[in-house]
Structure 1
Amino acid sequence: MTARSCPCGLPGAYGDCCGRYHSGTAAAPTAEALMRSRYCAFVKGDVAYLLRTWHPRTRPGTLEPDPRMRWTGLEILQTSDGTAFHTTGTVEFRASYRGGSLHERSRFERVDGAWVYVDGEFLP
């Protein structure tokens, strides 16, 4: 990954990829795109975006990511639904960090037309 590439793992610059979702100039069109942008927000420490894209039903009151956490990569393992033709979707992913990885199956729903993160199940 170059200094200008997007941390989500897709080719292209951050501003043309997840940066436009973070800034609010565009909305993630699929559950996978939202998952990638949320991973990127964890990398960048963008707590406001993480809370804004969390389902109101499951959103925590506050979020304090560990500033020592160093995310090193994202691998999308499987997606189900989550396109423009769906109201729900799931994304299974592995997010690597210095010293380990997190494997999760996340659930997403549309709220007022926008994809939001509902919750996730940690997998071995």
Structure 2
Amino acid sequence: MLINKFSAVLNRTVLKATTCLFALFLASATTAMEEVDNELTNQYKPAIETLHGLQVTEKAVTIVVTSTGCTQKDDFIVVLDKSMPPEATFIRLMPDYCRAASRNIPIQFSLKEVGAAEFTVGNRVKPGNAF
């Protein structure tokens, strides 16, 4: 009977210790991943994106950019120079670190997001494959 109680206490102690070690491991792994992510993004400076296409309608602007799998609209901002006519420049804030095959994807902005219905574009345009 004493051996069974001792065994139960030992099992609980080992379980608690294992749980604590696992929690520490998860915390350190998360911190390490955040540090790697921060190192990658801290080295990146926002850049004027090369466009592979551009379409303007009455309500929206669609740009075509290169993606390797992770590019999304939130990676971009539009800077509008108030010259006459205004000049819109599409800037990539976050790089695409994914490793899929490079492809062209459309990203759409409303004219309200661009800030003008008529404008010139400050980005370099390099024709690419259809998306």
Query: Normalising by the residue count of structure 2, what TM-score does the alignment of the two structures yield?
Result: 0.23
Structure with the higher fraction of residues in helix conformation: 2
Q: Name whichever structure is richer in strand by fraction.
A: 1
Higher relative contact order (CA 8 A, sep 6+): 2
Q: TM (normalized to structure 1)? A: 0.24
